[in-house]
Structure 1
Amino acid sequence: MTVKFGISYNTAHFGVDPEGIVEFARHADECGFESLYLPEHVALYPGAKVGPFELPPTLPYVDPLDCLAFVAAATRRILLGTAVLLLPYHHPVILAKRLATIDVLSQGRMRLLTVGLGALPGEAQAVGVDFATRGRRADEAIDVLRLLWGGGADGVGFAGEFFAFDDLCSFPKPYGVTRLPIHVGGSSRAAARRAGRRGDGYFPGGALDAKERAAQWELARSAATEAGRDPEALEYTRWGAIDMTEEDLERLAGQGVTRIVVSPAAAEPEGRRDELSAFAERFGLRAAVTG
């Protein structure tokens, strides 16, 4: 199985200069990266922490979907992804329209949506979501998204704990398909189970040891089997290092990984451009696109 390569761009680290974002995305496209990922935070506040790490409240996290639409207009083939979109903080009826719109306008490139729950209680409070319910909200939201994308002119209905509607139509549909892939991200066993039961893939966080990472992937696969789904259809995405080697690739591929997403490390745009070029050269990405 061929491993695919994605690249992540975090405006919280690299800034929101539009020319810089476009240049980075175009270069990633030209280098042959399969996909471009952006993270999300809806709102920050003083003292917000993810694990032991405090997030400065002035970090400029852009809206990932707006930014991906902007990137789509400036690129030609690179797929668009999130890592992760905080699904419980989005109403799925609105989100279904936004995602389908980007997919249509990009001619089928909004195909690597990865969703997560969020780890900041203050962020949930800011958008009126009970932090304790965000897992159940996410499960319902995934079901609603797929229902709306697959529904026809007669409309569809849904009656859940958090969302309810009757005879609802959502057009346009995604480009040439009846549903967009939804991958599940996270660092918990609950996330792994959600990926198996509802997701098209699993994208675990980086702060896991090898034993727990392997256990979660097996849990995702077994949850898929228990839900009557094909575990072999699950994609397995992992974070990698921009300076990773062929040996690193072989090790990850041996663990069943189907996609590796790396992040540039250089502080300056020229350095990031060089890192992408070197990575593409090392793994023959340009040849894979043009061959």
Structure 2
Amino acid sequence: MPETGLLDPRSVRSLADELDLKPTKQRGQNFVIDPNTVRRIVQLSGIGADDVVLEVGPGLGSLTLGLLETGAAVTAIEIDEKLAPRLARTVVERMPEASGRMAVVHSDALQVNELDGDPVTALVANLPYNVSVPVLLHLLQHFDSWRSGLVMVQLEVCDRLVATPGSKIYGVPSVKMAWYAEATRVGTVPPKVFWPVPNVDSGLVRIIRREPPETTATREQVFAVIDAAFAQRRKMLRAALAGMCGSSAAASEVLVAAGVDPQARGEVLGIEDFARVAEALAATRANDAV
């Protein structure tokens, strides 16, 4: 057993064999087998012994052990019925002094809206590829106690999360992320450090919370405008928002009231612009109801 307690390729395979585990694309399972990559992720996350870390998709525990090594407490959410019960035992076996700082929640992260224990202060996770964006947005919405995070996602998803207005890849994930936080790409991870080996690179996204734009519109109202604007991203906003405004002409009036060019497309608007549009739309609906 390595002195550090971190998992290496041989121990990852041994655990998988013990569990008769066959990683599935359905659950986006790609396990980190390189201790140096784990240490790099933990170092970039900036967490310390005072943190309560939320981890999603811990798998066999590679990153979990690295997080515990800092002295932090970790709550890990794992959906897999084989992996969830094994994780706590892995910690006891490889890092027994940390077992009291470890909690495992056997559940779908998209169904978890609250957790027992101290409020989490940070999110650090190798998010399952297939649900990374929905899970991340869910955790931002329901757990506002964490102020910083570092997540590993498919590189294409990473670039979408950090994209800025005017970029060809700027879209719904980019804008919704901007409502909650500032996201920055801080590194890439090659396929060879995973088992099974994925056919794409991964990206590391640093997340720093910030307050949402000042607006009288609700998050739901703003997100509804974002979804409509990008549903057919090649359309001008006056056409893209016609359905929710009642007509193209009505959408133009709302956009003008918000200080937005009706002929613009969603990809050029920042989160503050979308908030103003949602506010103007809500005001128009309120006036129409009188």
Higher RCO, 1 or 2 (CA under 8 Å, sep at least 6)?
1
TM-score normalised by length of structure 2: 0.30
